[in-house]
Chain A
């Protein structure tokens, strides 16, 4: 009973918060509602017994990704009135695209057939937490059975990261940079010059 109650509380708050993400007037409020959605989804993961995924969801999405969202949204100076001006003009095109997506999704899921083997597996009870924990089970799958795919995914992410740095990094001339090693290596002999200045003459 408690589990069902918790599920309904989490899911209804998650849906309501997700709706508020797209309807809130203030983008910072949108991000805060997004965080609320993440939290409730994490709660649903816990109900499912996927505690590791729940914690990782909070660490990665709430603790890192949403912070960056918030960082950017707070720094931007957005004019909301201007942003909403062309709303009615674009409404037909937007709704057309939405309709196409909806039909695509409907045909996709309408023709979706689950293999009988997998369908039966869904009925099997998940192993009890006493035998194997989430962490061991996930680690076994990711690092043992699918280690090459995992490595490939890591490589793709690395390439994406390096690509982003290469594309956005530019050498600006005239920027003063601090080289700690050079600063520490300075000594009075090669950085200070003592001159005898004659009175009334200057250097």
Chain B
């Protein structure tokens, strides 16, 4: 009995503690990301933003959460019950499990697997299911239209995202996320692969259904798109999942292009600050751009969105794969492996 506890029980408890140590800060940052979004957009609109609940409105996310928690969950009578309830759970779980492979510092990662970037790509490509299921199960025209738009949009932008990830992998020679970060010790990949970094970020905007690509929930035409029939906690799960996905995509951009936990210069005042803080700062920077874009740009028209994905980003990123591999081979820069 003691042996079983030592071999399986103790590692299990230790693992659960580690998972809580990752999930709790993420949920907290999701809550405060909503506040930050309202505050930043408020500042850009010359308004104050939420400032009533608590000092500077700091308790606003908690109040919102409590409100959603206490409301009644309404399930439409025409809905497909099982799938209707499953959809928000899928969205929320997928947004959280991807964090298992994100490295926060050297060796500070829940599961350091060999194919980390593929795992991330796989999980982010599953995000479309939550939305598709929600749209279909709601049995409502607006929700269904939103889900269809979202599915087409996410598939289109995934292709160029995959090709851009390949250009990064060509420079690293490994699919492990820690190796990807360590390969950027000399120079962050945003410098040599500059246009790719920008295209990747724009693709993540489309992948998370954020402005200016938020057609799936365009409030002016589709009311609220796929989540129009959802209320209370089921809606809250969608909301949390969407914001957790934003943070995840920012983390992915930081790991692939902004050097993960590495300081900008390997010199004394920068190396005093620990790695996780640098990583958090980079994520916060990307999130600020997410919000900044929302406050600045109008929504794309649907055919323009598809044109951007298939006729501009896809050829550009395909060309980048050929060009980057050509340069690496020509100048003998390929990372060597046994």
A-side interface residues toward B, CB under 8 Å? 1-2, 26, 28-29, 32, 35, 51-52, 55-56, 58-59, 62-64, 67, 70-71, 74-75, 129, 131-136, 178, 180
Contacts and interface: CB of A to CB of B under 8 A. Distances in A.
B148 A71 contact: yes
Given A2-B8, A67-B132, 18 more contacts: A51-B113, A52-B114, A52-B118, A55-B115, A58-B122, A59-B121, A59-B122, A59-B125, A62-B125, A63-B122, A63-B128, A64-B158, A71-B151, A75-B148, A131-B338, A135-B114, A178-B303, A180-B307
Contacts of A74: 132, 136, 144, 148
B240 interface: no
11 contacts: A1-B8, A28-B80, A32-B83, A51-B114, A55-B121, A63-B126, A67-B128, A70-B129, A70-B132, A74-B148, A75-B148
Interface in B292-338: 303, 307, 337-338
B133 A32 contact: yes
Contacts of A29: 83
B270 to A, nearest CB: 32
Contacts of B338: 131-132
Residues of A contacting B: mostly: helix
Contacts of B288: none
Q: Is the interface of B mostly helix, strand, loop or mixed?
A: helix
Given A71-B151, A74-B136, A135-B115, A64 B122 contact: no
B91 to A, nearest CB: 15
B175 interface: yes
A129 B176 CA distance: 13
Nearest to B86: A32
Given A2-B8, A67-B132, A52 B115 contact: yes
Contacts of B59: none
Contact of B122 (A28, A32, A55): A55
B119 A35 contact: no
A44 to B, nearest CB: 16
A67 B151 contact: yes
Contacts of B273: none
Nearest to B152: A71
Nearest to A139: B337
Contacts of A75: 148
B8 A134 contact: no
Contacts of B114: 51-52, 129, 133-135
Interface string B145-178: 0001001000100100000000000000001000
A58 B175 CA distance: 16
A133 B83 CA distance: 38
Interface in B89-125: 113-115, 118-119, 121-122, 125
A129 B83 CA distance: 40
A178 B114 CA distance: 46
* Shortest beta-carbon contacts, A-B, top 7: A63-B125, A55-B118, A58-B122, A59-B122, A133-B114, A55-B115, A51-B115
Contacts of B125: 58-59, 62-64
